[in-house]
Chain A
Amino acid sequence: MQKMNKHKNIRQLLKTATGCLLGAAATVQADAEEVFFSGWETDIAVLAYSESDDRVSAYEPVIKTQKTFADDSVLGFKLVLDALTGASPNGATPSDQVQTFTRPSGNGSYQTQSGETPLDDTFHDTRVSFSANYQHDLGRLDKMIWGGNLSKEFDFFSTGLSATYLHDFNNRNSTFSFGLSGEYDLIEPVGGIATPLAQMQATDQLQPKGESSDTRFMGEVLTGLTQVIDRQTIMQLNYGYAQSSGYHNDPYKVTSVVDDSSGALVSGESLPGTYLYDSRPDKRIKHSLYGKVKHAFGADSADFSYRYMWDDWGVNSHTFNLAYRKNFTNWYLQPTIRYYMQSEADFYRHSIRESEVAYIAPYLTSDYRLAEMWASTLGIKIGFKTANGNKNSIRLQYYHQDGDKNPSDAIGIQKNYDMYPTLDAFVIQYNYSF
């Protein structure tokens, strides 16, 4: 050993000597680079999402990596790819006739059979999203987390920045957090921006479209307190405020206009039916109150959270989430259940009557996502370590969403059909960490 040490010392001396001749910086640089590229903790994950009835399917591979440095600062990166296919409800309601709709590009049309929920299958889109975050200490009890993100898909571009401040007190039993974020969105719909409340026209007609793109900006504040209650229990309470201004319409969605007494299609200007393009306010303010409790039951734990959201569009929602973690020596099982319910937006209608067209302005939407709706998710996650000590997990979820299928204001033939596009989706996800 002594002999080996002696040789090591000579090698060190030579290295320093060479360093002095060539410029010590070169050697230091090489060492520093080697050090920077080692010690990254990486996660790769894949999610497969599939809705029933030929609706949306998505495949989402993700790679995420982060490194903790000598001063406890953390640098992280994440890349998400999202490939979507399948059809989405376009907002129109089922009728007793075949319905014809024009594709967003204005070139081409698609049809819906009688009694079916109209679905637009135009889109096969791919989204790429990249985000980076950096966390560092300001003092022993204070930290900052900085974040940036970029996202691009065919008709949408988004970029954002965020900064969060965290402060520990009460012997680290309490953590106060205050975060600010801003997001800029550029919406470039296929076929251009549809004129709100204008009628959908047949393919051979002049399309009621305006500019090729529009923008939206959102600012958000998220503040909260995390509190250790006792050795087994921790709680978190957050308040969030978000304000967005700019383009909020869904340029691909329409509202059906039906006959006042029969509920049947009303002849349009160039189509067999009358459909009005989506129109929403150019401003939205959202508030959220979120609470979570985690409690350890021996080697197991339970996680319960509740969120109440309300906005100035008339929507308010409740979200309940419960997860139970059963830890075994080398693996774990985690069943979860989620229940969600929301009220409808002030300007949501499943369809409107012909006599209302004249005074329906300024806002109108039939987007099911702004309807009165409830959803439940059942999930199970299994985690285990492979032979080399790396973590794996598989997650399965079933999501069911429903709304008022038989609204009290359904007219005539509408009473025969489901006025809400019920959704069933399966999700499978696999994670690997190394």
Chain B
Amino acid sequence: MKTVYIALLSGSLLMSGCSSLGVQPWERDLLARDDMAVDNAPLDSAFDDHIYFSKEASSGGQGFSGGGCGCN
């Protein structure tokens, strides 16, 4: 339970501190590139996750998107 509190606290600190980081909407050219997507090869990740889940005690951890072009 203590670990959860620490995680939540650091999470909220992170989120408030992050307001100063980042780029303008027109500066996302590199981030919009295919290879710069947070999970740019979901099929590969799925294959790997399945292999490692079958052979190891750990699984998952990787989350969902964000980043990229930032459009719309």
Which residues of the partner chain B approach A231 to less than 8 Å between Cβ atoms? 23, 27-31
Binary interface profile of B, 21-57, with partner A (CB < 8 Å = 1, else 0)?
1111101111101011010000110110011100111
- Tell me the minimal C-beta distance from A348 to chain B in angstroms: 10
| A234 at interface by CB-CB < 8 Å | yes
- Tell me the minimal C-beta distance from A262 to chain B in angstroms: 31
| A180 at interface by CB-CB < 8 Å | no
Give the distance in Å from the alpha carbon of A30 to the alpha carbon of B56 in the complex: 50
| A395 at interface by CB-CB < 8 Å | yes
Instruction: State which size class the interface on B falls in.
Output: 35 or more
Which residues of the partner chain A approach B19 to less than 8 Å between Cβ atoms? 170, 174
| Contact of B23 with A228 in the complex, beta carbons under 8 Å | yes
- Tell me the minimal C-beta distance from B5 to chain A in angstroms: 12
| Contact of B36 with A177 in the complex, beta carbons under 8 Å | no
Instruction: State which size class the interface on A falls in.
Output: 35 or more
Which residues of the partner chain A approach B24 to less than 8 Å between Cβ atoms? 171
| Contact of B67 with A234 in the complex, beta carbons under 8 Å | yes
| Contact of A370 with B58 in the complex, beta carbons under 8 Å | no
Give the distance in Å from the alpha carbon of A166 to the alpha carbon of B66 in the complex: 8
Which residues of the partner chain B approach A410 to less than 8 Å between Cβ atoms? none
- By a beta-carbon cutoff of 8 Å, the part of chain A in contact with chain B is 43, 45, 47, 49, 60, 62, 64, 72, 82, 140, 145, 164, 166, 168, 170-177, 179, 220, 222-232, 234, 236-242, 286-290, 292, 294, 296, 301, 305, 307, 309, 311, 315, 317, 319, 325, 327, 332, 340, 342, 345, 369-370, 373, 375, 381, 395, 399, 401, 423, 427, 429, 431
Cross-chain pairs A/B with CB under 8 angstroms, 15 sampled = A49-B51, A60-B50, A168-B70, A172-B25, A174-B19, A175-B65, A223-B11, A228-B21, A232-B30, A287-B4, A290-B61, A290-B62, A301-B35, A345-B57, A429-B44
